[in-house]
Amino acid sequence: MFDVEELLSKRNQRNALEHLLSKKDGCGIDGIRISEFKEYWEVKHLNIEKEIREGTYIPGIVKTYEIVNNRGKKRSVSSLNVTDRMISRMLTQKLTSFSEKCVWRYYQRI
């Protein structure tokens, strides 16, 4: 598995930030644009990391709305604030890496 230090490693943060910045520029429900997030993260990341380590980080509000496709079918879409998108991406990267290692070990035994 991985621990909080691996989750918050500079490499993992850099990869998550690169992924986030490669997305279409938009605004999270917190009012921060993706294009402005790098500067925001540079200022706030130490406080956010501390809250994650201490277990006191509280994710922001999630806005949920429905969209209708051209066939009339509805689906729900959830919108996170940009900071939560960054943390979610960091978690996704570590979980993906961990699961790929588990699958690799499983197939080596077969």
Encode pLDDT of 23-49 as tens digits: 888 777 888 899 999 999 999 999 999
SS3 letters across the chain: CCCHHHHCCHHHHHHHHHHHHCCCCCECCCCCEHHHHHHHHHHHHHHHHHHHHHCCCCCCCCEEEEEECCCCCEEEEEECCHHHHHHHHHHHHHHHHHHHHHHHHHHHHC
The reported pTM is 0.82
Q: Would you state the pLDDT for residue 51?
A: 97
Give the mean pLDDT of the chain: 90
Q: Would you state the pLDDT for residue 103?
A: 72
Residue 48: both structure tokens together: 């956010």
For the chain, the structural domain boundaries read 4-109
Residue 110 has pLDDT above 70, yes or no: no
